[in-house]
Structure 1
């Protein structure tokens, strides 16, 4: 464990040195990400200019869900920036370099593609939650802090499991896949109440691609949404996280064993 912690620290140092060289690029990336999140929030606010509720959810509740959604999403973005894996590591053959080193191959790939500016999205999400928490008059207890940590960790693991599985498809296919951008768009459905979707979409977002567990379901615990059963279902968030991370790592390890190098 000490070796892996030290390896992470060294990668962080190298990242900081690179960003200090191109500081403006760093802040442009942060600003663009925050503007993107602001547009999504504005969209929610505009929707509620035309309706009093969305599937039985008030404006403050939906904004609270969106704030929670941003927290694990930002943390996931820091450590699991796998968008260019196929092109860089399979097509260009950099996976060969990774496999010659003693550290676990996936860990190396994740460290090489870290995106620390994503943490600002999590901070903004936490601020949005705090404001909505106050507007809703929700009680605050020490247990809420613990559950927030547990739910956030579970949501990050769900993200990780799904995207590691999809990234590993590159080991089984000779061509880069366009599934990741599609999945990125699908995950955004998790920031809205699942009750607004039909039964098929609800089942998909809850059990097959459980993006509801990275947003609306764990957020329902704090909102005490007992009438639709989501607050009770929220306790499954860490369980779903462990299950899907296990699936992701299994698919990845099988894929690595199939990898035969970039060739000529």
Structure 2
């Protein structure tokens, strides 16, 4: 109940702030939609020059992109930690966080909530629905809880990976530039991984498992018979739990190492 009440209080404070600066809120939403729209346009342009991509049709790749947007929007809402090192380590705000009873990661994520990112998730659902109709896929109500489960697994993968990378700030004050690099790598997960060579496929599946945030779980719904990718889809929640457990472990170890802003 403590964590639920904290979440509600932080959400109310966010709403009060944005009601004061409404233009900023809508500019943020619009810029995010434009960015996602450009990515979709890029996919459509690619298919103007080829009928398929690694054996995947245009509608299938667009469906994967729609799925990719959903967990990323949820992740972006609750794990927007891009400026963690500067704000909490360099400026010492982590000292304030550690004086409170709630878990420090929970507090940091709530302080950096970005609800407009959920608009991207909504757009992703719409894209999937349109592609679903174009592909003529059968619909079963059982697919709804499966969709929720796979999306949750993908969110945990994002959260675990970026929590671990953010925790690097506890070990080094020097900017690493690794978060922008990882952001670029994650985008490979929205394309069929069979278009990459074996080394990249292995990395995207088992080392930096971004294939599990897009193409692999999305393939579960595409009815691709005998496809090796879709056979891995049910592992998404497992990979998510493992990734988040690793991320949380790295974070907790980093917090124990933290000695204050002057250290």
Q: Distance in 2 between matches of 1:228 and 1:166?
A: 32
Q: Distance in 1 between matches of 2:169 and 2:176?
A: 7
Q: For residues 93-135 of structure 1, what are the alpha-carbon distances to aligned partners after superposition, in whole Å with 9 as ceiling and x for unaligned?
A: 1100100111100000000000000000000000000000000
For residues 71-150 of structure 1, the aligned pairs below 5 Å read: 71-150=70-149
Q: For residues 76-101 of structure 1, what are the alpha-carbon distances to aligned partners after superposition, in whole Å with 9 as ceiling and x for unaligned?
A: 00000010000100111110010011
Q: Where does residue 193 of structure 1 map in the other structure?
A: 192
Provide the TM-score with structure 2 as the length reference: 0.99
Q: Where does residue 3 of structure 1 map in the other structure?
A: 2
The number of residue pairs the alignment matches comes to 263
Q: Where does residue 164 of structure 2 map in the other structure?
A: 165
Q: Distance in 2 between matches of 1:204 and 1:72?
A: 20
Q: Where does residue 206 of structure 1 map in the other structure?
A: 205
Q: Would you say 1:232 and 2:208 are equivalent positions?
A: no
Q: For residues 153-203 of structure 1, what are the alpha-carbon distances to aligned partners after superposition, in whole Å with 9 as ceiling and x for unaligned?
A: 000000000000000011011223211111011101000000110111100
Q: Where does residue 54 of structure 1 map in the other structure?
A: 53
For residues 217-256 of structure 1, the aligned pairs below 5 Å read: 217-256=216-255
Q: Where does residue 30 of structure 1 map in the other structure?
A: 29
Q: Distance in 1 between matches of 2:257 and 2:54?
A: 46
Aligned partners of 1:158 and 1:245 also within 8 Å: yes
Any gaps of 5 or more consecutive residues in structure 2? none
Q: Distance in 2 between matches of 1:250 and 1:224?
A: 37
Q: Distance in 1 between matches of 2:79 and 2:220?
A: 26
Aligned partners of 2:85 and 2:173 also within 8 Å: no
Q: Where does residue 66 of structure 2 map in the other structure?
A: 67
Aligned partners of 1:226 and 1:232 also within 8 Å: no
Aligned partners of 2:150 and 2:237 also within 8 Å: yes
Secondary structure in 1 aligned to 2:39? helix
RMSD: 0.8
* Structure 1 consecutive aligned stretches of length 4 or more whose deviation exceeds 4 Å: none
Give the superposition deviation at 1:232: 1.4
Any gaps of 5 or more consecutive residues in structure 1? none
Q: Distance in 1 between matches of 2:102 and 2:170?
A: 19
Secondary structure in 2 aligned to 1:226? coil
